[in-house]
Amino acid sequence: MFDFHLLRKYILIVIEGEPRIPTREEAVALLFEYTKTESLRKHAFAVEAVMRACAKKFGEDEDLYGLAGLLHDFDYEMYPTVEQHPYVGNKILAEKGYPEDVRQAIMGHAPYTKVPRETTIAKCLFASDELSGFVIAVALVRPTRLDGMEPSSVKKKLKYKAFAKTVSREDIRNGIAELGIPEDEHIVFVIKVLQENAGTLGLA
Ligand SMILES: [Fe+2]
Ligand SMILES: [Fe+2]
């Protein structure tokens, strides 16, 4: 069937040129405009760091992955319900010209949207979001924080249901399985990225 949307898109590209992807600075400004809570801002930066590392690991675009990490929860503080988040954010991002891949990944990080995670960027985001939060929660109860953290301490806490009980163990498990890498490898990967960024994340 003839796709008029695609034709319109190509005509616009011919007239206006390729749509410009917003910069990291613009993304941070957008995050700060909507998110005032310090911990939520830090969560955005943590997931951004993991996403950039994920892009590097899979030979993908680091800036694009970074944007998905940075903005996946930017609407959450203002629009926290399952009817709003991340739907409202997705609409705002579309208006601002954020690429489809980034927005699809952001929609897919919330399993209740039922948006399938078909791309590596979407799989990386889903596998990194809750796990980053969990690793940071584990770090916060350790005297040495992230220093010397082993995957075994993360796995032990994952089994202990009373610890960080709002973090969905099922999402973490499914996320890593969808990414198709061994659980230990991904946990080690996330710990390492967060260790490397401990200073900027306020976890040193
Ligand atoms: Fe979210
Ligand atoms: Fe998140």
Using the mean position of ligand 2's atoms as its centre, give its distance from the Cα of residue 196 in Å.
20
Which pLDDT value is given to residue 1? 63
Which pLDDT value is given to residue 13? 73
Token pair for 33: 């405009």
Q: Whole-prediction pTM value?
A: 0.92
Pick the ligand that lies closest to the CA of residue 125: 2
Pick the ligand that lies closest to the CA of residue 40: 2
- Rounded to whole angstroms, the Cα distance separating 106 from 86 reads 7
Using the mean position of ligand 2's atoms as its centre, give its distance from the Cα of residue 127 in Å.
11
Mean pLDDT by 10 residues, the chain (204 residues): 76 75 98 97 98 98 98 98 98 97 98 98 98 97 96 96 95 97 97 97 90
- Report helix, strand or coil for 3: coil
Q: Are 103 and 85 in contact, with CB atoms under 8 Å apart?
A: no
Q: What angle (nearest 5°) sits at the alpha carbon of residue 158, between those of residues 189 and 67? A: 45
Which pLDDT value is given to residue 19? 76
The string of DSSP codes covering 50-103 is: HHHHHHHHTT--HHHHHHHHHHTTTTTTTS-STTTTTHHHHHHHHHTT--HHHH
Using the mean position of ligand 1's atoms as its centre, give its distance from the Cα of residue 133 in Å.
11
Domains located in the chain, CATH noted? 23-196 (1.10.3210)
Pick the ligand that lies closest to the CA of residue 132: 2
Token pair for 78: 């203002």
Which pLDDT value is given to residue 15? 72
Using the mean position of ligand 1's atoms as its centre, give its distance from the Cα of residue 154 in Å.
21
Which pLDDT value is given to residue 2? 73
Which pLDDT value is given to residue 81? 98
